[in-house]
Structure 1
Amino acid sequence: MELSTVWFVIIGVLWTGYFVLEGFDFGVGILLPFLGGRKRSAIEAPPTPADAEVEKRRRVMLNTIGPVWDGNEVWVLTAGGATFAAFPHWYATMFSGFYLALLLILVALIVRNLGFDYRHKRPHESWKRRWDVAVFWGSLVPAFLWGVALTSVVLGVPIDADKEFTGNLLTLLGPTSLLGGLTFVALFVTHGAIFVALKTDGPIRADARRVAARVGLPTAGLAVVLLFLLGLHGGDAASWITTVLAAAALVVGLWFNLKDREGMAFIGTAATIALAVATYFLILFPNVMPSTTDPAFSLTTANASSSHYTLTIMTVVALVFTPIVLLYQGWTYWVFRKRLTTQHIPADVVLEHAH
């Protein structure tokens, strides 16, 4: 197997890891205003006891991902760096052509991460509500745009003979690409709800299971339609197999969720996302960025890759450091494996009528 093909597979694995791990982070952030409960009192008024309980629920949700979200984001940085080093022409075309979409994703991630870090800095109710909004939109926007961007790459974009993207942001917003964005959001919400059920106990756990059950079936429908359309576009036997397996994994995950077996349900949704991303990359190969202008202008694993020497050095480095990173991240999840409840959250200090 050519090293360029090996690195295409590695980049696919990195994106899979990112969407599986960061996917439940996005899902928790999107669910924060809903699964966390709704605060009733006005922003200027002191919170009621019911509002205090809502605040605890939201803090529990954020604490489920608090120790891991920043580690999960490293996967996308590694995927981007690997693309830059292994396929510089792919990186240049994609990051210049998708500049505005990627900028929106970056800004949204920064806003979301600020919400994680700054929400608790002040006890003011208005302060927390604003950061809750930031976490929500900072999770929804990247989830949607990643789906749009990845679907657009698989479908193909206008690229000229100089390997330059000749479209604009509206080029990426075709019906199938928008369906891809919506499907990614639905998958991440289902994945996030099951993660909350896995990491919590008490009423919020039961509520999370109900949300997963309600969202799961529409998600399955969207995913089947999307992967079917992509399969018609350029699928082969392998991609159709992963499509069927992705649908089966989601159904099995939802069944385990109904049986109150959140661990198996989480494995099911994780497998669904992994198989869906595998389907994308199987349809894409041997292209890395198909051209709708002329198939001869498409970027492939052969014409977009770095030199054999560069890929060899990268392979050695990956073989040495990848196991270390995986062991460390696995250890982090093991340390923070216990369930959380609102009883673990201390009473909040409240400043009445403060802004």
Structure 2
Amino acid sequence: MTIDASFPTGPRAQVDRTARAKLLSGLNRSDRAFSLLTRAAAIFVLITLGAIFVALFLGSLLAFKTFGLGFFTTESWNPVTEKFGALAPIYGTIVTSAIAMLVAVPISIGIAIFLTELCPMPLRRPIGIAIELLAGIPSIIYGIWGLFFFAPALQQYVQPEVIAFFKPFPVLNQLFAGPPYGIGILTASLILAMMVLPFITAVCRDVFDTVPPVLKEAAYGLGWTTREVVKNVVIPYTRVGIIGGVMLGLGRALGETMAVTFVIGNAHRISASILAPGTTISATIANEFTEAVGDVYTSSLIALGLILFFITFIVLALARLMLMRIEKKAGA
């Protein structure tokens, strides 16, 4: 009978098996502890989200009981008579975010394409760092700059020319009508575009860098131009990441407060012109929460917060659904 040397026997073998068992037991305990810790972190996020929703819902019950569905369809906002409607802030939030994304998304994708495909190597890092520094500027700095420099420049040089240019066109003359205030929905939208641009650019640049070089080299080998490579290789390969970056910027635009408060004009009315002053949900809450007197007034402001919560949730849910459909289509 022969003894396999790979399975030692005797007292020393028993000690080795005991030490191995202790080591495996310790690893199992640490793995279970790590699993419980990460699960607790995920549950904590859900509990926090639920607590925010419950707090906003309970705080806004009085406003919904008082005004009913009229709270969503009424433009009037009068603290003196305690008549409140959320239509103007909802309109301002959606319009400013939409215009900001229309401006920021093409510019951000263009900058990311330039940095990854066209920019000389010595300039890529400095330009990338400069763009990322824009994301670190506090929003109140954007607001101050917008109020004292950007808005006066628009009022004096840009808005009069825009009003005169679109005046002969039937529909566009209403969209760009009115005196050049400087501050207003368009100004707030442009400030928002500047604020979300570095976030979208950073995400797009990172996902563009994940494209395998062999794909682009093969496309160039077929004689494609840079534009064709970007259109047919880079964009299709990274479309999921691009949409994720756009949704990140949109979430920032929907909830931005201080910069918008400085330059939007804070007028509770809906105007067909994007040059006119307006307001957003976050700007209304920031301006009036400390001055809210009375339960109905406070409850109405909390109801605005709940509406913004739902708008953000719906936007992110739709973005996630879009990403799932794109991934499913790509897999098929």
TM class, shorter-length: under 0.3
TM-score, length basis structure 1: 0.26
TM-score, length basis structure 2: 0.27
Q: Please say which structure displays the higher CA radius of gyration.
A: 2
